[in-house]
Structure 1
Amino acid sequence: MVRMSAEERRESVIRAAISEFAHGGYHGTSTETIARRVGVSQPYLFRLFPGKQAIFLAAATRCLSETRRVLEEARTDADPHMSMAAAYKDLIKDRDMLLMQMQVYVAVAAMEDEFGAEIRKVWEDWWDSMHLLLGTDTHETTFFMSYGMLINTLVSLGFPSSHRVWADFAP
């Protein structure tokens, strides 16, 4: 049997935490559940991360950073809006990633002191990156990002892509 390094275990914990927090939220997910999913003890989990908040922040940051990375890699010079929008629609087919994004916003709203500053920094960096990639003004970048949030909401609510509410959305 091959033993995982601490870094490999940390990575496993982050992936498991994204899935568990996505479905249970911050308060509804126990560190015991995450540890069990990864196959480690809770004491070992806390050697990798100092506490539940650190695990959640690692999962939240990974989720938002991965979304940003996918959009950056998808951007084309021909039509940055459409290429990034298409990549985003593919990305949120991963229900865990979609729901984790939504749980991040809930956690910040409910527990501002614990999560607010860190998550806002990730979002500000993401917005700045999109602004540069789109090459547009502030209004257009804001519209693009808000469009993504609307898509999150529609998909989270279970609207099928064939529903009339999607009629004006591209691609």
Structure 2
Amino acid sequence: MVRMSAEERRESVVRAAMSEFARGGYFGTSTEAIAKRVGVSQPYLFRLFPGKKAIFLAASAHCMDLTRRTFEEASEGLEGEEVLHSMANAYVKLIAEHPELLLMQMQMYVAVAAAEEAGDPEFGEAVRAGWMRLWDTVHVPLGGQVDGTANFMAYGMLINCLVSMGFPPEHRVWEGLYPSARTTGRLEK
């Protein structure tokens, strides 16, 4: 059996935490559940991360980085409408293949609201910084136009909400939201 390095174990904790937090949220997920999913003890988990908040913020950063990299890869070498459609289709494919990514995004927004209400700005600062990196990743390939970027991100958030609410891919609410839906009537994987 090959032993993982501390960094590899840390990465496995972040992936497991993203899945657990996606389902249970920050307040509904225990560090015990994360440790169990990874196959480590809680004391070992806390050698890798100073606490639950640090694990959540690392999982949040991972979630946003995956989304950002998806947009970067989808927009590479393209211009105009091609960029828009490529990034939109790449995002739909990403969330269809990795629903925990979408749910983690939604949990991040809930955690920020709850933390800020409780007087803890750290969640908000970290999540907003990640979101702004995402905005910037989309903004440049879309031609640096604020309206185009805002429109793209707004449609993305609408997709997040519809998927989170469980609207099936063939439901009429999806019509016109992304190119693949117009031609196939379903989310493409």
Give the TM-score band, short-chain normalised: over 0.9
Q: TM-score, normalised by structure 1?
A: 0.96
Unaligned 5+ runs, structure 1 = none
Tell me the alpha carbon deviations over residues 118-161 of structure 1, each in whole angstroms, 9 at most, x when there is no partner. 11111112111211111141111101001100000011111112
Residue number among 92, 95, 102 corresponding to 2:95 in the alignment: 92
**CA distance in structure 2 between the aligned counterparts of 1:106 and 1:22, rounded to whole angstroms:** 11
Is 1:62 the counterpart of 2:62? The answer is yes
Q: Which residue of structure 2 aligns with residue 37 of structure 1? A: 37
Find out whether 1:52 has 2:52 as its counterpart. Answer: yes
1:106 equivalent in structure 2: 110
Q: Find out whether 1:17 has 2:17 as its counterpart.
A: yes
Runs of 4+ in 1 over 2 A off after TM superposition: none
Q: CA RMSD in A?
A: 1.0
AA matched with 2:105 = Q
Match of 1:147 among 149, 155, 162: 155
2:79 corresponds to which residue?
A: 77
What TM-score, normalized by structure 2, do the two folds share? 0.88
Q: Report Cα offsets for 1:71-121 as digits up to 9, x if no partner.
A: 110113361100000000001111111101110111011112230111111
| Structure 2: segments with no counterpart, 5+ residues | 180-189
- Percent same amino acid among aligned pairs? 64
**Alignment partner, residue 135 of structure 1:** 143
Contact 2:142 2:149 in 1 (8 A): yes
Task: State the Cα distance separating 1:64 from its structure 2 match.
Answer: 0.8
